[in-house]
Amino acid sequence: MSAQKSILYPLVAVLVLILIPVIGVKLGLSYFFAVVVPYAAFIIFFGGILCKVINWARSPVPFRITTTCGQEKSFDWVKHNKFDNPFTNGQVAVRMALEVLCFRSLFRNLKMELRDGPKLSYGSAKWLWLGALAFHWSFFIILLRHMRFFAQPVPGFVDMLQNVDGFFELGLPQLFVTDAVIVAALTYLFLRRVVVPQLRYISLPSDYFPLFLLFGLVLSGIGMRYFFRVDIVKVKELAMSLVTLKPTVPEGIGALFYVHLFMLSVLFAYFPFSKLTHMAGVFLSPTRNLANNSRYKRHVNPWDYPVKVHTYEEYEEEFREKMKEVGLPVEKE
């Protein structure tokens, strides 16, 4: 698929997805978009991820296939790199925590260039790491901040997050730093696919679709907070009715809210079937979550079955007479 089509198709798909709730609410289907769709998306999200994880768990990983990024544990006088080549489960836990929270493997990202004729050179390339970290952490903090709509009274950590996030006290309502950072990070993550020729070549619609979906989600949320405000008391009434399993839809929430909710629902439902499953998959990466202890511990293949062997002794026992007849040497007479 050409690069233009890879961008255009998901863009059109997301624009259509934005129009669906706008038209649907006009037609009086607000119950469908406020209750049925979010519940369905939540169930698909949970069920889908569960199926994925169980499917992964059913595949045996008999041998240690750790990617080693440092010195393996060896003699006492050789310095062991504990977190890049873990030996115990505790060290694996630290390695996984660094991977999940700090994207350590992305930090090692390199770029390769041919310079001054046929000279191959490698350089550090940290921008992707920075963009990814900025995006994921902003998204996580924004998700936590949204807990103010789902709990009554609002838990204390939300208050703390809002204070830190609104630290600069810019504008009214106060600008949240994460809102600005997530837009910048998404813009970077999109532009790198468009600008860098190699990335443009390998980028598929399934790379652009989640990006556009996230843009829709984030921009509709920012729009609701800063520009085209909706009645958030009613939004919380709806959210609380959903989580107490007594769904009621208050009248007169702005259409922008339905766009936001629909984007979120699509994102949730899309999660288990796309590259976004890396959220669960990162925990089950055998190249990261295994201790590199093959030299100390025997790992037996679980699908080994008792092999029927026919030893030479038994063979000679069976054919001794015939072997003697044709003059073949035998070990026992």
Contact positions vs other proteins (CB under 8 A): 46, 49-50, 53-54, 57-61, 147-154, 158-159, 162, 169, 172-173, 229-233, 236-237, 240-241, 243-246, 252, 280, 283-284, 302
Token pair, residue 157, equals: 């950590």
Token pair, residue 175, equals: 């600008």
Nearer to other proteins, 196 or 279 (CB): 279
∠ at Cα 154 (151, 157), nearest 5°? 115
Instruction: Give the residue among 165, 139, 281 at the shortest CA–CA distance from 218.
Output: 139
Instruction: Give the residue among 267, 278, 229 at the shortest CA–CA distance from 53.
Output: 278
∠ at Cα 140 (171, 180), nearest 5°? 30
Nearer to other proteins, 148 or 260 (CB): 148
Query: Measured between alpha carbons, how far is 304 from 317 in angstroms, rounded to an integer?
Result: 28
Q: Report, in Å, the least distance between residue 183 CB and other proteins.
A: 22
Q: Report, in Å, the least distance between residue 199 CB and other proteins.
A: 31
Nearer to other proteins, 89 or 124 (CB): 89
Q: Report, in Å, the least distance between residue 81 CB and other proteins.
A: 24
Nearer to other proteins, 162 or 206 (CB): 162
Distances (CA, A) of 217 to 143, 172, 260: 12, 21, 5
Nearer to other proteins, 87 or 271 (CB): 271
Q: Report, in Å, the least distance between residue 250 CB and other proteins.
A: 8
Q: Report, in Å, the least distance between residue 55 CB and other proteins.
A: 10
Query: Measured between alpha carbons, how far is 18 from 263 in angstroms, rounded to an integer?
Result: 7
